[in-house]
Amino acid sequence: DAPSTAFKRVVLKLSGESFCREREGGISMSEVTAISRQIKAVAETGVQLAIVVGGGNILRGKQFSQVSAAIHASTAHYMGMLATVINALALQDALENEGVSTRVQSAIRMEGVAEPFIRRRCIRHLEKGRVVILAAGTGSPFVTTDTAAALRAREIGADVLMKATKVDGVYSEDPAKNPHAVRYSTITFQDTLKQNLQVMDATAIHHCMEHNIPILVFDFGRDGNILRAIQGERIGTIVHN
């Protein structure tokens, strides 16, 4: 029997950093394969899983727009969105290679490599047990894939937005700077705002707060953690109203 899960439908936000080695850029297929194996275990539980992929391992619009006056800020952001498509395709093949059935849906039309994002079609794939990889963020510049993940979570009616990071939750202060920083197991949206804690970008936070979508921040680096999180084990930090 498939192990039970705490959630029925989940949006998982995978940053670009999960596609490369620590302090490197680009794509490392060994990292992508490792994360795919974790995702396979999740898919086998029967939970409906949509994954919003970031692109920071390749390009971030805000940074790239500052390298030269020749590039318009929106162009840099479109390049960032295309970077997420590159990651999405790598993740798709890695997952399919593990025997997981997937679809990629892109917010920027890209016939030949991905379906367009169509809400009802996305939900249909999820109901059929396919992992849906959501690429190209929102399709609009000047926001991040955190915001895309929050919007998609609301659109498809996800129970939770899971933010996979390299830190095992939300801390009172930056644990890299202060070793005495404490990790919260739960915290309210209001408190993260009051204390100016970095959970996701502000737009994403406000959206989740307004629409009552809890965010689970957890460390994907420990093998099996994505499954633990989905099964409701108390890892990471839950941010809620």
Which residues are known binding-site members for UMP?
55, 138-145
Q: Which of residues 39-78 bind ligand UDP (CB under 6 A)?
A: 54-56, 60-62, 77
Question: Nearest CA to 55 among 134, 168, 116, 123?
Answer: 134
CA-to-CA separations, 213 to 58, 122, 136, in angstroms, rounded: 29, 19, 22
Stretch that binds ligand UDP, among 93-101, 116-124, 139-147, 220-228 (CB under 6 A): 139-147
Q: Does 138 bind ligand UDP (CB under 6 A)?
A: yes
By CB under 6 A, is residue 12 in contact with ligand UDP?
no
Distance from C-alpha of 32 to C-alpha of 35, rounded to nearest angstrom: 5
- Cβ neighbours for 59, distance < 8 A, ≥ 6 positions apart: 76, 79, 80, 83
Give dist(CA 132, CA 237) in Å, integer: 25
* 207 sits near ligand UDP (criterion: CB under 6 A): no
**163 is a contact residue toward ligand UDP (CB under 6 A):** no
Candidates 5, 7, 10, 15: give the one binding ligand UDP (CB under 6 A). Answer: 15
Question: Tokens for 102?
Answer: 């997937």
User: Of 88-107, which residues contact ligand UDP (CB under 6 A)?
Assistant: none
Phi/psi of residue 22, nearest 5 degrees: -50, 130
Q: Which residue, 92 or 138, is less far from ligand UDP as judged by CB?
A: 138
Query: Site residues (CB under 6 A) for ligand UDP?
Result: 15-16, 54-56, 60-62, 77, 80-81, 83-84, 137-138, 140-141, 143-146, 148
